[in-house]
Amino acid sequence: MKKIAIIALSLISAAAFAQPTERHGSNGPTGPEIKINAPSVQITSLSHSSLQNGSSGTAAARQNVASNTGNVTIDALSLQVASISNSAVSNSASDNAAATQNLASNMGKVNVGGAQLQLVAARNSYIGNTASGGSSAVQNVSSNNGCQVCN
C-alpha cells in the first residue's frame, strides 16, 4: 500500500503539469467523448461509508467512482484507485430499470494505449450488485468495458 501511495503522489505531481484536452464543436462541448492523452489520476477513498446506486421503474441510474465513462481515450499513464475500508458499496436495479456502477474503471469505447493501473482495494467491506424484475445491473470493478449499451 505504501508503494501505491508513492506512485499516486508521483502521478499527482505529474498531472499538475498536464494540459487538459478541450473538446468543442461549433456549438460548444460535444458528447460523452473523454480524451486525456497523458497522466490521469483518479482516487476515491471511503472509510466507514455507504455508497449506493439504484433505480426502479423504467429509470436509469449511473454512478462512477474514480472512473471514466463514454468514449474513453487516455494514450498513456493513468492511475484509477478506489480505496474502500469498512464500507458498503452497492448497485441495484428493479422493475425493468437499469443501474450501472463503475469503480476504478473505464466504460465505453476504451483506448488506453499505455501503462495503466486500475485498483480497488477493499478491506472489511461489501461490494454488491443485484438486478430483479427484468432489470439490468452492471458493475465494473477495476476493469475496462467497451460496451456503452450494456444496461
The domain in which residue 47 lies consists of 2-17+33-145
Residue 71 lies in a domain: yes
Residue 138 lies in a domain: yes
Residue 1: what pLDDT?
Answer: 54
Is residue 88 over pLDDT 90? yes
Is residue 86 over pLDDT 60? yes
Residue 76 lies in a domain: yes
Is residue 20 over pLDDT 50? no
Residue 96 lies in a domain: yes
Within 8 A by CB and 6+ apart from 76, the residues are 37, 38, 39, 113, 114, 115
What pLDDT, in 10s, does the model give residues 95-120? 999 998 888 888 888 887 888 888 89
Is residue 34 over pLDDT 90? no
Is residue 23 over pLDDT 80? no
Residue 140: what pLDDT?
Answer: 85
Residue 93: what pLDDT?
Answer: 93
Rounded Cα gap, residues 106 and 94, in angstroms: 24
Residue 24 lies in a domain: no
What pLDDT, in 10s, does the model give residues 52-65? 999 999 988 888 88
CA angle 132, 135, 138 (to 5 degrees): 100
The pTM score is 0.68
The per-residue DSSP string of the chain comes to -HHHHHHHHHHHHHHHTPPPPP-EETTEE-SSEEE--S-EEEEEEEES-EEEEEEETT-EEEEEES-EESEEE--S-EEEEEEEES-EEEEEEESS-EEEEEES-EESSEE--S-EEEEEEEES-EEEEEE-SS-EEEEEES-EE--SS--
Amino acid identity, position 122: A
Residue 13: what pLDDT?
Answer: 43
Neighbouring CB atoms inside 10 A of 98's CB total: 19
Q: pLDDT averaged over the chain?
A: 77
Within 8 A by CB and 6+ apart from 69, the residues are 32, 34, 62, 100, 102, 106, 107, 108
Residue 27 lies in a domain: no
Overall number of domains in the chain: 1
Candidate from 4-8, 11-15, 47-51, 109-113 with smallest mean pLDDT: 11-15
